Chain A
Amino acid sequence: MTTSTVPAHVEHRANPMQPQPFRVRKVQNDTHDTFTMNLTPVDGGAEFKFQPGQFNMLYVFGVGEVPISISGDPTAGGPLVHTTRAVGTVTKAMRKLKVGDTIGVRGPYGSAWPVEEAKGSDIVIVAGGIGLAPLRPSLYYVLRHRHDYGKVVLLYGTRTPSDILYRKEIEGWRSRFDLEVYVTVDRAIGAWHGNVGVVTNLIPKAPFDPLNAVAMVCGPEVMMRFTALALQKRGVTPGRTYLTMERNMKCAVGFCGHCQFGPTFACKDGPVYRYDKIRWFFGKREV
């Protein structure tokens, strides 16, 4: 299984449940329901270190706390970046925050994408919807260490063209010669000239060597189920396929048991899991 770490700077904190105040430096609307915030510590603090795939607990004071993956560049330093879809009580309140407001941050928590172990392999990143956000740090990492990897392929599916996250950035990635980017949408009316169909349609023909590829998958659970199967059909083994499990969590450090997923806790054994380790209970309704 991937490394499940509570980083030293969190473990040694007097109270791991205590959020640190961060200031909102920038808010950008990505799509009609998603937004990206840049945060910096109110007290100036040290640079925020994390591994691609890890998440923070973000506390909108007086409203509540939710787990949100870090979507920024793990090698760049600079502000902490989170991309969030406004779906319910906390995330909708978060969306109302303005530059200069404060938010509580605990973390980083959880396991990471296997970007180190995957060196020497082809990389296939399969993202569905907002699932691109937790994968973006691993793409940044791989592109920063581009010569350590074989082919790098991003397959991204969304519902409609207007749901495409990081549109400008994807256009930039597309123009690179060392990265293959394929985008597909479920539904398109009018001016869309790109691919239409579910993201799994892209897997059979994507240019990677299935026997030497590591796949990282993030999206809604049902999408990940079908993606894992399509990857397997292509020849990527479950031992080389990684996916993230989003479970509701409270403490995020393995105390409360809220995020139990089979014999594991998604907050510390996940959210990134190797598929062969969870295959027997992944997709079971009771889990």
Chain B
Amino acid sequence: METLEPYLAEHPFFRGMAKRHIELIVGCASNVRFDAGQYLDKEGEEANRFWIIRHGRIAIEIFNPTTGPITIQTVGEGDVAGWSWLFPPYVHHFDTRALELTRAIALDGKCLRTKCENDHELGYELFKRFAQIMEQRIEATRMQLLDLYK
């Protein structure tokens, strides 16, 4: 059977990570696809996965009962979506929805948390990468709040 290891190793999020760490992570990985319009996550649901996007595009949304879904950001090939699995109470804060046919690798958060507890080096590597994504998203959000294109 074809393994997901080469895909993970090539993805920008994992690039440069030690082979033994990739081998540990792949044990928590599965290959998934979503059709346009399909939800990956829903606000309020338990967050037990994150997504390594291989192709396609997804919207991170918040639902406003009066106006409907509001897209906060879109992410695509080479990006990662979801970090609520990292922090108790492990609940999604946003909806995530495929805008087009999207192929991704799903990573099981519970499985990874256990592995990180057992191997802190792996945990440190993963957290460094997530911290970078969080930093980028915060920066982008702040810029959005500035109303850049006025």
Hey, which bits of chain A sit against chain B, CB under 8 A? 128-129, 157-159, 163, 184, 186-190, 192-201, 205, 219-220, 222-223, 226
Contact = CB atoms under 8 A, between A and B. Distances in A.
Contacts of A197: 73-74, 140, 144
Contacts of A205: 77-78
A223 B149 CA distance: 7
Interface string B73-86: 11001100000000
A165 to B, nearest CB: 11
Interface string B122-150: 00000000000000000010011011111
B32 interface: no
Interface residues of B, number: 22
Q: Is the interface of B mostly helix, strand, loop or mixed?
A: mixed
A219 B146 CA distance: 13
A196 B149 CA distance: 13
Given A195-B74, A197-B73, A129 B149 contact: yes
A193 B71 CA distance: 10
B59 A196 contact: yes
A159 B78 contact: no
Given A195-B74, A196-B71, A205-B78, A222 B148 contact: yes
A189 B70 contact: yes
Task: Find the residue from B73, B99, B144, B150 having the highest chain A CB count within 10 A.
Answer: B150
Contacts of A158: 149
Contacts of B77: 205
Contact of B71 (A192, A199, A226): A192
Interface of B: 57, 59, 67-74, 77-78, 99-100, 140, 143-144, 146-150
Contact of B149 (A192, A194, A219): A219
B99 A157 contact: no
Task: Find the residue from B140, B143, B146, B150 having the highest chain A CB count within 10 A.
Answer: B143
B149 A186 contact: yes
Task: Find the residue from B74, B140, B149 having the highest chain A CB count within 10 A.
Answer: B149
Contacts of B150: 129, 159, 220
Contact of A222 (B59, B100, B146): B146
Contacts of A188: 70-71
A200 B72 CA distance: 15
Given A193-B99, A226-B143, A198 B148 contact: yes
Instruction: List 8 tightest A-B contacts by C-beta distance, closest first.
Output: A129-B149, A196-B71, A223-B148, A197-B73, A198-B143, A196-B74, A159-B149, A128-B149
Contacts of A219: 148-149
B147 A198 contact: no
19 contacts: A129-B148, A157-B148, A159-B149, A163-B149, A186-B147, A186-B148, A187-B70, A188-B70, A189-B71, A190-B68, A194-B74, A196-B71, A196-B74, A197-B144, A198-B144, A198-B148, A205-B78, A220-B150, A223-B148
